[in-house]
Structure 1
């Protein structure tokens, strides 16, 4: 891919570093997951909103997920492959409009650096299928100080 001077300057230094060093979304495209399907198969398996978030890294509209108000004891799992992601004991109301957690379940999620807005953010994805879940930030409550800000449409809740 070639960029002209205007594209290069508008890309920003963080974006340039991602482009040069391969830290963008394509950097993890080669990752192999235990659950994989073709794009066409994912489209058949997932509702349109879940497909857009999980497979195209979209973001759902804030304050629209029923999981925001979920208060029961249970487990939040990936809507694509049922991987266990978060315990209800780590869920809290961050006021952001998305289900938020201060810690994932061991082995449930993976992360990668996301440069889509020009600045680095830590994207959170399902460790089993690679589906996009949301992002993690350093402004959460104790004990971790993390805010796993997840798209509700990317998860299902299993009570119990």
Structure 2
């Protein structure tokens, strides 16, 4: 069984009511219940401005626009996180398949999944829900 999204080992914790107050309904379902937004519907799938993408739950800096690429999948895709320690990897055996789920290591927010079909140099594709991140433009 995978680690619960509200596991007490996450440094940033909130009650369910606090998460509901902080997040809009789509963000809440994605971040706290590992839902997935439909492809080509999130606000960042085709967004390529210079800046940083932070966790919607706690504000941790997760991905840089410098590693964002168009994977053609309909979700924001990155070749690597800003700091690998801030992105937790967990085995996800839901939906009849085995994948690697990625969460914010600080608050447990479900971000998406990582696959091994990305570009060099990492070969990884972090497929992230727009509802789980917040863009901060480069100053």
Gaps of 5+ in 1: 1-23
TM-score when scaled to structure 2?
Answer: 0.92
Shift of 1:27: 6.4
SS of residue paired to 1:54: helix
2:17 aligned residue (19, 37, 40): 40
CA contact (8 A) 1:79 1:154 kept: yes
Alignment partner, residue 46 of structure 2: 69
Residues 19-30 of structure 1 aligned to structure 2 (within 5 Å) = 24-26=1-3, 30=7
Shift of 1:65: 1.4
Q: Which has the larger radius of gyration?
A: 1
In angstroms, what is the RMSD of aligned CA positions? 1.4
Shift of 1:31: 5.0
Alignment partner, residue 142 of structure 1: 120
Shift of 1:69: 2.2
Aligned residues: 137
Gaps of 5+ in 2: none
Alignment partner, residue 120 of structure 1: 98
Q: Which has the higher helix share?
A: 1
